[in-house]
Copies of this chain bind each other. A is one copy, B any other.
Amino acid sequence: MKIAVDAMGGDYAPEEVVLGAIEAVKAYKYDVVLVGDEKKIRKVMADHGAEESERLTIVHAAEVIEMDEHPAQAIRKKKDASIVVATRLVKEGVCDAVVAPGSTGAAVTAALLGLGRIKGIERPCIATPIPSKKGVSVLLDSGANSDSKPKHLVQAAIMGTHYAKYIFNIESPKIGLLNIGAEASKGNELSQTTYPMLEATKTISFYGNIEGRDITEGIVDVVVCDGFVGNVILKFGEGIALFIMQLVKDSIRKGGILAKLGAMAVMPAFKHLKKRLDFTEYGGAPLLGVDGSFIICHGSSKAKTIRHAVRVAGELVEEDVVGHIRSSIEEEGQEDESEA
C-alpha cells in the first residue's frame, strides 16, 4: 500500500514532513510517496541518511499552496501544487491515501475537486479524535463546513460510526447530538430538526442529546455538530490547555520549593493533556465523505504527527472505511436526494 504525503504542506515542510515519512516506512508496513519539490526533498533525505527505495519514493510537484493564499482559488489555479498532485495519485490509483499537513481549506478543496464525494454524501466532514475520561471521542464536523443542515449531521453520524468502529475498535459507537439541553425539544433549529432524523437512522446507535460538558465525560463515542461549532470548540480546548500550562508554569516560578517540585512532578501529566487536546497527536483527522482516504494534519505538524498520520491513512484503507460509509449511505437511501 502506498500513502501519498504532501511534503510541502505545513509550517515545518519539507523537513519535518520528510522526516516523518522516513520514520513511517521504518515503523509501519505502508510505503510512502513524498510529493513536492524533488530537490528539496532529496536534500532532507540526505541530511537524515535516507535514500529513495521501493518503499520511499518521490514524485515531483513544482508548485506549493502558501498559507496566505485563498485555498479554493489556489487549488484551482495551481494544477501542479504538491497537494493537488498527491490527490491525483490517489484518484489515478497509483497511491491509496493522502496525508495533507497544512491549510485545512486547501486540503478540503483539493480532496473535493480531486476525489469527489462518495455517492449520496452532501458534505464531507473532518472527524477529530478528542480526549475524554473514557479514552477518545470523535468530534465531527470539526471544521470542513459551516451552516450544516440536518441531513449533513445525519450523514456525519453515519460516517463517524464507521470511523469509530473500524479505527478505534468500538463495536457499536454511541452517537451524541451536541446540544444545549438533554430533552429532544431543546436547542436551535438545526438540532431540533436533526434529533428525530437521527432517531430514525437505522445504521447508527443514537444516544440522544449531549451537552458541552459531556464531551470530556466520554458519555458517547461520536459527537455530531455543525462544523462552525466543532471548530470553535476544538480551538477553545487548545486554548484552555495552553492556559493551564501557563498556570502550572506560574506556580513553578512563584511557588515555594514544594510547589516547584510539585509542579514539576505533575508537569508530564499536563503536557500529556495538552497533547491529547491537540489532534495532531492522533495522527491527523480524516476528511470523511470524500471518495478516497484523506488525512488532514495541523499546519504545525512535526515528524511524529506525520508518522502517525501515515499509519492512520493505512488503517483507513485496510479497514475500507470509505466502502463501509458508501454501503450505509446506500442502505439509508440517502443517495436519492443528494443534490448539494
Contacts and interface: CB of A to CB of B under 8 A. Distances in A.
Contact of A228 (B229, B241, B242): B229
Contacts of A242: 213, 216-217
Given A239-B214, A246-B133, A188 B261 contact: no
Interface stretch (A89-97, A265-273, A312-320): A265-273
A338 interface: no
Contacts of A212: 231-239
Contacts of A241: 240
Nearest to A212: B235
Interface stretch (A20-28, A54-62, A251-259, A294-302): A251-259
Measured as residues with beta carbon below 8 angstroms from the partner, the interface class of chain A is 35 or more
A33 interface: no
A157 interface: no
Q: What copy number does this chain have within its complex?
A: 2
Contact of A188 (B188, B215, B228, B273): B228
Contacts of A214: 239
Interface in A172-219: 178, 180, 187-189, 191, 211-217
Given A255-B265, A258-B261, A213 B189 contact: no
Q: Give the most central of A131, A133, A235, A248: most B CB within 10 Å.
A: A235
Nearest to A105: B181
A180 B143 contact: yes
Contact of A211 (B146, B235, B244, B258): B235
Contact of A269 (B133, B178, B215, B248): B248
B239 A240 contact: no
A216 B243 CA distance: 7
B261 A263 contact: no
A33 to B, nearest CB: 31
15 contacts: A132-B243, A180-B231, A211-B235, A212-B236, A213-B242, A217-B243, A228-B229, A233-B233, A233-B236, A247-B269, A247-B272, A251-B265, A251-B269, A262-B264, A263-B266
A147 interface: yes
A239 B251 contact: no
Contact of A237 (B131, B133, B234, B240): B240
